[in-house]
Structure 1
Amino acid sequence: MDNEVIGRVLYLGLLVVAVGGYLLVEYRGRMGQMLRGLMSWGMIVVGLMAAYGLWNDLGVQMVPRQSVATNGEVVLPRARDGHYYLSLEIDGTPIEFMVDTGASGVVLTQSDAQKLGFDPGGLVYLGSANTANGIVRTARITLENVRLGSYEDASLSAYVNDGAMDGSLLGMDYLGRFRVEIDQDQMILRR
């Protein structure tokens, strides 16, 4: 153990001795009452930890991803990470995208390409793209029957990234088909 860990262990030990000594003196002869109090506070702390964990896990799912208004506009709320996300239905399969106005093309992860029936190992990676992680190889594909709310497109050119990606990106090749407006914490897409 290094000196920092030893110091922390000593500090924690002194804290436990001080609080434990106080409790023993204060509740001398009433150990049952002390144990009930400690158990109550322990349950409260465990409950708060569970609530915090659930909030982090479920919070993203409870926030609406996108909505389609009656006038046909698609409204995307800003996510907690500051980005906008939307789901496109491609040939009947929903695929989640991060909206990236700085990207020129639509880029799929290998797992999303596989969901759509493409074999990432069998694709020909002739292209390349400059990303924040450097230059990656790309394979050009065509997506059929692309749907966002009431908007339908027969086909859309896209790329499959040969490198690792956290999620698929929706770039200007698709977003350019819309009038894009950012108003406070929402992005509005209209045709």
Structure 2
Amino acid sequence: MDFSAALASAFDAIAQIVRAVPRFELLMIALAAMVGGWIGSMLVRARVPGGRLIRTASTVALVGVLVTVVLQLSRMDPRLDIAVPEIGLPEQVVAGGETRVPLSPDGHFWLEAEVNGVPANFLVDTGATVTAVSQGVAEAAGLEPRRGGIPVRITTANGPINASIASADSLSFGNVEARGIDVVIAPNLGRTNVLGMNVLSRLSSWRVEDNTLILVPDAEDRGGA
């Protein structure tokens, strides 16, 4: 098999893999960069001009994807949170006054909240890393999936699904207001929205006393530190 036939066969195999990969921009860029690096290496071995350039460009692209992923993952932990407006990552702030939430008859804590001014009920879930909203709430609140957002896969009652990350300008409940908070837009989530640890961990404190959830934010705005 000559070089051209091998390259064509490789492209056909890659195309099949691509069709099976969720269409997240970072994944597609990373995949393209890896393919480019492989092609560049083959061209270098074949002494074809431009091979080193292709391989170097692919490496730079992969480093860029890695940095973007690290920056976005850091936002899930307030100790590592970094606001980088240049790539669409706003500062995440949770502030306001103490809010008390009574235990509901179903044994859960529910919040009557507003997302960008749109009313929505949220289940407080300490096992959820990121706050999640249904597709309907996201559309009503004008939430747009972040371009270049990291791929998110969550488990729902209907099984695992792919979801997108967005930033909510405002998420308010009781005396608390969160701004710039990352939220997952989860198709098939139904009517249940979830308040996760990326909000709770930015509170000054939270605890349960006498079947009441007590949320205590900082009185003044602060960042993720």
TM range (shorter): 0.5 to 0.7
Larger radius of gyration: 1
Q: Which amino acid aligns with 1:180?
A: W
List per-residue Cα deviations over 1:28-76 (Å, max 9, x = no partner). xxxxxxxxxxxxxxxxxxxxxxxxxxxxxxxxxxxxxxxxxxx931111
For residue 209 of structure 2, what is the aligned residue in structure 1?
183
1:100 counterpart letter in structure 2: D
Cα pair distance change 1:106/1:73, threshold 3 Å:
same
With the length of structure 1 as denominator, give the TM-score of the two structures.
0.55
Higher strand share: 1
Q: Is the 8 A contact 1:137 1:163 kept in 2?
A: no
Name the structure 1 match of 2:170.
145
With a CA cutoff of 8 Å and minimum separation of 6, indicate the structure with the bigger relative contact order: 2
Letter in 2 for 1:159: V
Once residues 129 and 213 of structure 2 are traced to their aligned partners in structure 1, the CA distance between those partners, rounded to angstroms, is 18
Calculate the TM-score normalised by the size of structure 2: 0.47
Unpaired segments of 5 or more residues in structure 1? 1-70
> Root-mean-square deviation (CA), in Å?
2.8
Identity of aligned residues (%): 28
**CA–CA separation in structure 2 for the residues paired with 1:156 and 1:129:** 18
* 1:95 alignment counterpart: 120
CA contact (8 A) 2:99 2:174 kept: yes
4+ runs deviating over 4 angstroms: none
- Cα distance per residue 1:101-127 (max 9 Å; x no partner): 11111111111112212479xxx8942
Q: 2 CA distance for matches of 1:125 and 1:176? A: 21
Mean CA deviation greater in 93-102 or 146-155: 146-155
2:129 aligns to what SS in structure 1? coil
The answer to whether the Cα contact below 8 Å between 1:83 and 1:98 also exists between their aligned partners in 2 is yes
